[in-house]
């Protein structure tokens, strides 16, 4: 049926509603009962209805402003990949009068995050892409978004039950659960392991890490309840402090041969191991930073979990466009695959850019 052309009147007749109702559904104007909306949506799905996006672009007189609230970045880090995806979407959508602006914050800095949230309201925002950091601050910002009826999309980390237009990213708990399952596949009874954390599990700056750790520990309780698990806190920037901390730990625990990190800083551990000519039997981390990939190829990191940051950024902007400009329905959840990379397959993997 998708090759046929349908008018609003055709759709209204097929759904058994008025043409005005169909128009309100197509343009998200509200004032439609759930029952009527369901009837219209059923017909739209059956006919694979697609708005004429070229006509919309030509007819649009309004200029749309999308704002992306994301961490500051440097070339080749995780958030730089997100930025590349956003930029690809921005270039593709220029003909539809869409401007993409950025509000940057320093990850883990509550003052910087709050200042960036405040800057969002200095401009007239049509939609907001959010990489949430501090949950309480994000919830406060969301109150204003709801008051102004501004749609917003989460990437990287999801805060449930906030009426976000869509979440794009991994299932954090599941990825942590899978990390444990992969790490422990060859583990023998009596082995100990260490979790390398970039902050305490209670830190409000590491809400993504919290969920991954929770998923990891759930698997351990389910499958290896007797395993002794150590936790080691590493500094994000102080290499000398980390060296002293790991020196002390490995001297005190020479038999710990398995470990996991829950963000892109697995290179902190891998660099230490390379410097001391050490190898763990299993060491797993996240994100395909060049330094992480190099350490994996050299055998100091066993496995990396990728989460397609460029695709997250791209899909986030496209989702806002679909909703705001093209008046399309979007799904509330879009989970990224949990990509498992080892040195044997990393050269065949490419990120969306």
Does residue 306 carry a pLDDT above 80?
yes
Instruction: For residue 37, count other CB atoms closer than 10 A to its CB.
Output: 17
| Structural element, H or E, at residue 286 | strand 282-286
Three-class DSSP category at 77: coil
Please write the tens of the pLDDT for every residue from 27-65: 666 678 888 888 888 888 888 776 655 555 544 567 899
Written as one string, the DSSP assignment of 110-178 is HHHHHHHHHHGGGS--SEEEE---SHHHHHHHHHHHHHTT--EEEESS--SSS--SEEEE--HHHHHHH
pLDDT grade for 85, boundaries at 50, 70 and 90: very high
So what's the pLDDT on residue 224?
93
Does residue 91 carry a pLDDT above 70?
yes
Q: What is the CATH number of domain 8-50?
A: 1.10.260.40
So what's the pLDDT on residue 1?
44
Average of pLDDT values for 195-222?
A: 84
Count of H-run helices and E-run strands, the chain: 13, 12
So what's the pLDDT on residue 274?
96
Q: What is the CATH number of domain 172-306?
A: 3.40.50.2300
So what's the pLDDT on residue 225?
93
pLDDT grade for 67, boundaries at 50, 70 and 90: very high
pLDDT grade for 204, boundaries at 50, 70 and 90: low
Choose among 210, 212, 231, 223: nearest CA to 181. Answer: 223
Q: Which of 59-63, 88-92, 306-310 has the lowest mean pLDDT?
A: 59-63
Q: Which of 11-25, 41-55, 220-234 has the lowest mean pLDDT?
A: 41-55
So what's the pLDDT on residue 353?
61
Please write the tens of the pLDDT for every residue from 123-150: 789 999 999 999 899 999 999 999 999 9
So what's the pLDDT on residue 198?
82
Q: Which of 180-184, 208-212, 267-271 has the lowest mean pLDDT?
A: 208-212
Q: What is the pTM of this model?
A: 0.81
Q: Which of 72-81, 298-307, 313-322 has the lowest mean pLDDT?
A: 72-81
Q: In CATH terms, are 8-50 and 58-168+309-334 the same topology? A: no
Locate the domains of the chain by residue range: 8-50, 58-168+309-334, 172-306
The pair of three-digit structure tokens given for residue 100, joined into one six-digit string? 């993409």
pLDDT grade for 346, boundaries at 50, 70 and 90: very high
**Mean pLDDT of all residues belonging to the chain:** 89
Choose among 246, 187, 195, 250: nearest CA to 217. Answer: 195
**Domain 58-168+309-334, architecture per CATH:** 3-Layer(aba) Sandwich (3.40)
Average of pLDDT values for 98-104?
A: 95
| Structural element, H or E, at residue 248 | helix 239-252
So what's the pLDDT on residue 199?
66
So what's the pLDDT on residue 351?
78
So what's the pLDDT on residue 28?
67
């Amino acid at each position: 049926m998708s090759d046929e052309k349908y008018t609003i009147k055709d759709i209204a007749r097929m759904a058994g509603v008025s043409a005005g109702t169909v128009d309100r559904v197509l343009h998200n104007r509200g004032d439609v009962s759930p029952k009527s909306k369901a009837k219209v949506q059923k017909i739209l799905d059956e006919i694979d209805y697609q708005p004429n996006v070229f006509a919309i672009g030509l007819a649009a007189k309004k200029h749309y402003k999308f704002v992306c609230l994301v961490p500051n970045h440097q070339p080749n880090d995780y958030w730089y990949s997100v930025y590349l995806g956003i930029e690809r979407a921005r270039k593709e959508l220029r003909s539809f009068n869409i401007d993409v602006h950025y509000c940057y914050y320093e990850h883990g800095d509550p003052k910087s995050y709050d200042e960036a949230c405040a800057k969002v309201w200095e401009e007239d925002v049509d939609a907001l892409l959010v990489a949430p950091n501090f949950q309480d601050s994000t919830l406060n910002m969301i109150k204003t978004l709801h008051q102004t009826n501004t749609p917003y999309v989460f990437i990287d980390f999801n805060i449930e039950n906030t009426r976000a237009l869509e979440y794009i990213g991994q299932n954090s708990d599941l990825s942590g659960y899978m990390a444990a399952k992969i790490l422990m596949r060859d583990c023998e009874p009596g082995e100990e392991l260490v979790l390398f954390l970039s902050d305490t599990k209670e830190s409000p700056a590491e809400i993504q890490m919290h969920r991954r750790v929770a998923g990891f520990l759930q698997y351990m309780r389910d499958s290896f309840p007797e395993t002794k698990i150590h936790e080691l806190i590493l500094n994000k920037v102080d290499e000398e402090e980390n060296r002293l901390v790991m020196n002390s730990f490995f001297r005190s625990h020479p038999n710990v041969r398995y470990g996991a990190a829950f963000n892109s800083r697995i290179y902190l551990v891998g660099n230490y191991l390379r410097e001391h000519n050490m190898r763990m039997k299993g060491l797993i981390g996240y994100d395909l930073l060049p330094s992480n990939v190099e350490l994996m190829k050299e055998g100091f990191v066993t496995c990396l979990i990728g989460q397609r940051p460029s695709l997250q950024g791209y899909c986030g902007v496209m989702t806002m466009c679909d909703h705001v400009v093209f008046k399309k329905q979007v799904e509330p959840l879009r989970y990224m695959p949990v990509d498992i990379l080892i040195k044997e397959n990393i050269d065949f993997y490419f990120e969306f850019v």
